[in-house]
């Protein structure tokens, strides 16, 4: 049992686990923001164009069973917005890491001076005479 507890302590104290925990907490908070964006801004705007007051009110009743497909539409839009934000964040992080990993290209060697060009011509002429 003591070995199990020690392994668990090592697992919990790893940086990746802590980073993941912070990510989950921030993701939960961000989910509330996204849900509010969908429910309070995007869905009412879509409701204006469709003539419906609220997508959440959209439902159909079949044999006494109410199917609230409006809530499903809101959940799908919420997912798409979250997925888009996560995609943009990962893309930005990948770009940042790529810049960090790739070393700066060395500048092209400087153009030889006139004196160096003249010396090279003299060298070439001397080679031709031999």
pLDDT surpassing 70 at residue 15:
no
- Note the pLDDT of residue 14: 67
80 by DSSP, 3-state: which?
helix
Q: What is the pLDDT of residues 24-51, one digit of tens each?
A: 888 888 888 888 887 788 777 877 877 7
Residues 6+ apart with CB under 8 A from 112: 120
Fold of 2-129: 1.10.1200
What's the whole-model pTM score?
Answer: 0.50
Task: Give the E-state strand segments of the chain in sequence order.
Answer: 60-62, 65-67
pLDDT surpassing 70 at residue 104:
no
- Note the pLDDT of residue 38: 78
């Amino acid at each position: 049992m003591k070995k199990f507890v020690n392994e668990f302590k090592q697992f919990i104290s790893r940086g990746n686990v802590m980073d993941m925990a912070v990510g989950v907490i921030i993701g939960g908070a961000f989910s509330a923001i996204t849900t509010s964006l969908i429910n309070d801004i995007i869905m009412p705007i879509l409701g204006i164009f469709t003539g419906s007051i609220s997508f959440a009110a959209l439902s159909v009743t079949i044999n006494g069973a109410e199917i609230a497909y409006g809530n499903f539409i809101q959940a799908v839009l919420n997912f798409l917005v979250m997925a888009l934000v996560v995609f943009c964040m990962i893309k930005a992080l990948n770009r940042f890491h790529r810049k960090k990993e790739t070393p700066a290209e060395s500048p092209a060697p400087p153009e030889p001076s006139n004196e160096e060009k003249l010396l090279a011509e003299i060298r070439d002429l001397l080679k031709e005479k031999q």
